[in-house]
Amino acid sequence: MLLSILAASLFCALELVSSQFNVKRPFQMNPPNQFDNQFDEPGFDLDLDDLRLVQFSLEEEPVWITERDKLMTKTMGKGYLDITATQSLGKLFTKRRFAYPNPNSTIVSGIIGNLTTAEPRKNLDIFSSFRTRYCHSDSGRASSEWLLHRIRNYTTELASEKQKPLISVELFEHTWKQPSVIIRMASKDSQDSDPITVIGAHSDSVNIINPYLPAPGADDDGSGTVTILEAYRVLLLAGYIPTSPLEFHFYAAEECGLLGSQAIVAAYEAAAKEIKGMIQFDMTAWVKAGSREEMAVITSSSDVELTKFEIKLIERYVDIPWVWAKYPGKIGPTDHLSWTRAGYQSCHVLESTLPNANARNIHTTNDTIDISHEFSFDHMLQYSKLAVAPFPKPCRCCRGRRRVPLLRRLLHQSHARRAITHLEMPAMSPTMTEGGIAAWKKKNGESFTAGDVLLEIETDKATIDVEAQDDGVMGMIVVPEGSKNIVVGKVIALLAEEGDDISNLQPPQEDASPRRKQQAEAAAESPAPSPPAQEFKPSPPPPAHSSTPPTHSRPLFPSVHRLLLEHDISTPSQIKGTGVRGMLTKGDVLAFLGKASGPMGTYKETPPPMAQAQAQPKKEEYKPLDGPSLRQLIVSTMLQNSIKARNPPSNSLAQASFDSILADYLPSTPTAPTPPKSSSTPPPPKTTNWLDGLI
């Protein structure tokens, strides 16, 4: 025991030294007991031998590994999803797709003016002081309870009397110790079926050297947590109540395979909730010395349309430039992936590109506020601006009237005093160039509020609602419903504000904007660049079966689960399992169905038609090779390869036939290789000297 403790202590010291001086070490240095609780730290509930079903890519089959293997995988820097409890996520119903117009909210600038760096600094100083926020620890639970208490204090002290009854702050309990925290803001007229906007970050931390060691997690992801907490604070100061529900999510157990976010997404999917969009803030504090301060827009596992809307928000409200970034693996290993996996639209921003990120300190004891001057609260402030930016105008019941502009328009009825806005044909996809108007939901002169559906756009793939992003009045419908082949960017309606005189509105002239016409022509000649293609395409849900879902005392592999569903076997306990600890294998089910001779037998394929069977030549039976024949075969093959090397064939790709390859080596009496017929090729060298004694 003493030797084990000394070995673990030495390894931890080496790890701290290597992280301090950025020394890369091979993965083989990990001792087998690296993740054990060597110092008997209290307050942990972790079974390192517990079997978990994980997925390293949304396109790959999941595999069963232990909790210890999960920690080893994270140490290697490989992302994964733990889908043990959410194997059917994304298969309940097809998710609604939303379109995102240009940002035009008039109150965002006023709200972000109240953002500070003092509050995030104070909050993160406390939040990173917990010894660890690991999801299987008592201190992990205590950190979430502190976060809940902090949010409720903000709500009590800053929320208006109109806001307080419309805000709920709750813990979302899980099967592990640490809960997630959810804030919900919704107007009194909202329904449970209304689409929800989700702003997320993860509140847990981990030390990948050993989960029982301290993990302050200041950057990963304490920075993202206090970033969106600051956005919530200034929304309270502004008296903001959204027209459609808004939620802030602080996920537990992200470091253990996105467990917290997947559990919440599964609950929302089971309740048939619609999600307008989800944006994840994971690590927002680091600006590498000597690098340009910028905001990284992640393309891994992100929705293309929502990402393009996110970029528009950055360009309008954020003071630093943005840049594309992508995770090195096959998935985006943070909580927006849970929503993407379920078919919802989600996106993600990071503190910088991956080479400039804080990879040296995260997941270690060095992830603290004061580790370097590169840890920047001013940089975090830019992300808080983005966290505020997606929201439209508040509902009418919680904001004041703009009396001065309205009075000015009443006194001066000229065109210059009217707040007329052109509603243009939107692009509902990166490749859309034209579309049709299926129906107008508002008539001329009819008022609307932010979130109301103005019209339905019809494309060759779907019919999509276009919502108003601001309060106003439908001044004039320029293009009637039923119109087809309307070019993207064409003015289809004129929108006004209350108090505007719309009696003498005139439709815009076709050639009134030559600049837009030139832009359209240029776009037609050279398409605008679009973000990288979305990596994940949700597969269609499997066909429904009449029988009840199969249940078993042991976990079921996805392939086994699929076979049981396909053959309506609801009681798999009648099948004897030959796998580890009595688990069912695919061979067990095939043997039970009579499609295999046994659990380890060969699958019985359908015999070929008689005509094909007759067309196949009869294979020659081969006898085992004796010693001299085998040596002769080896030497002759070496000679044959030597001859071929003199005239190497042109490289080409072909599908390998292993039967043909093996057939070349099986004959008991091999024939001598045939030399090339070309007279220009010199004869092979004499082999008498080196063949003698071998045959």
Question: Is residue 197 in some structural domain?
Answer: yes
Strand residue runs (E) in 162-300: 167-172, 180-185, 196-202, 246-251, 275-281, 295-298
Residues 488 and 375 in one domain: no
- CA 12-18-20 angle, to 5 degrees, is 105
CB-based contacts of 674, cutoff 8 Å, min separation 6: none
The residue among 544, 576, 603 that closes a domain is 603
| Total of domains in the chain | 4
Determine, yes or no, domain membership for 88: no
Single residue among 365, 396, 427 that ends a domain in this structure: 396
Q: Which amino acid type is present at position 148?
A: L
Q: Is residue 229 part of a domain?
A: yes
Same domain, 328 and 466: no
Both 173 and 274 in a single domain? yes
**Strand 421-424 relative to strand 322-325: parallel, antiparallel, unpaired?**
unpaired
- Strands 491-496 and 472-477 come out as antiparallel
Which residues of the chain have a pLDDT value below 50? 1-6, 14, 16-29, 396-417, 511-516, 518-520, 522-523, 526-529, 531, 533-539, 541-542, 546, 606, 608-615, 665, 667-673, 675, 678-679, 686-695
SS3 261: helix
Per-residue pLDDT tens for 274-325? 999 999 999 999 999 999 999 999 999 999 999 999 999 999 999 999 999 9
Contact of 224 with 201, CB cutoff 8 Å: yes
Residue 297: phi, psi to the nearest 5?
-95, 115
Same domain membership, residue 203 and residue 158: yes
Q: CA-to-CA distance for 321 and 311, rounded, in angstroms?
A: 10
Give the three-state DSSP class for 222.
helix
**What is residue 584's predicted lDDT score, i.e. its pLDDT?**
82
Pairing of strands 346-350, 275-281: parallel
132, 230: one domain: yes
Residue 87 lies in a domain: no
Contact of 320 with 291, CB cutoff 8 Å = no
What is the pLDDT, as a whole number, of residue 131? 97
Domain assignment present for 687: no
**219 and 147 share a domain?**
yes
Asked if the structure places residue 662 within a domain, the reply is no
**436 and 350 part of one domain:** no
349 shares a domain with 294: yes
- Structural tokens at position 315: 């360009």
For residue 280, give every residue at least 6 positions away whose Cβ sits within 8 Å of its Cβ, in sequence order, or none. 200, 201, 224, 334, 335, 336, 346, 347, 348, 349
- Determine the distance from the C-alpha atom of residue 500 to the mean position of all C-alpha atoms in its chain, rounded to a whole number: 45
Residue 639 has a CB neighbour count (10 Å cut-off) of: 18
Measured distance CA(564)–CA(577) in Å, rounded: 13
Q: Give the structural domain span for 578.
A: 552-603
Q: What is the CATH number of the domain that holds 371?
A: 3.40.630.10
Same-domain check for residues 215 and 304: yes
Bridge pairing between strands 434-440 and 453-458:
antiparallel
Is 693 part of any domain?
A: no
113 and 208 co-located in one domain = yes
> Does the predicted model carry a pTM greater than 0.75?
no
Same domain, 423 and 290: no
| pLDDT at site 138 | 98
Q: State residue 612's pLDDT score.
A: 47
Q: What is the CATH number of the domain that holds 484?
A: 2.40.50.100
Single-letter amino acid, residue 58: L
DSSP secondary structure, 32-91, as one string: TTTTS-TT--SSB---TT-EEEEESSTTSPPEEEEHHHHHHHHHTT---EE-TT-TTTT-
Per-residue confidence (pLDDT) for residue 622, from 0 to 100: 58
Question: Do residues 454 and 558 share a domain?
Answer: no
Query: Parallel, antiparallel, or unpaired: how do β-strands 63-66 and 51-55 relate?
Result: antiparallel
Which domain CATH number covers 560? 4.10.320
Structural contact between residues 166 and 248, judged by C-beta atoms closer than 8 angstroms: no
Q: What is the pLDDT of residue 519?
A: 46
Tell me whether residue 658 is in a domain: no
Question: Which of 347, 136, 395, 350 is closest to 259 using CA atoms?
Answer: 136
Tokens (6 digits) for 665: 């080596």
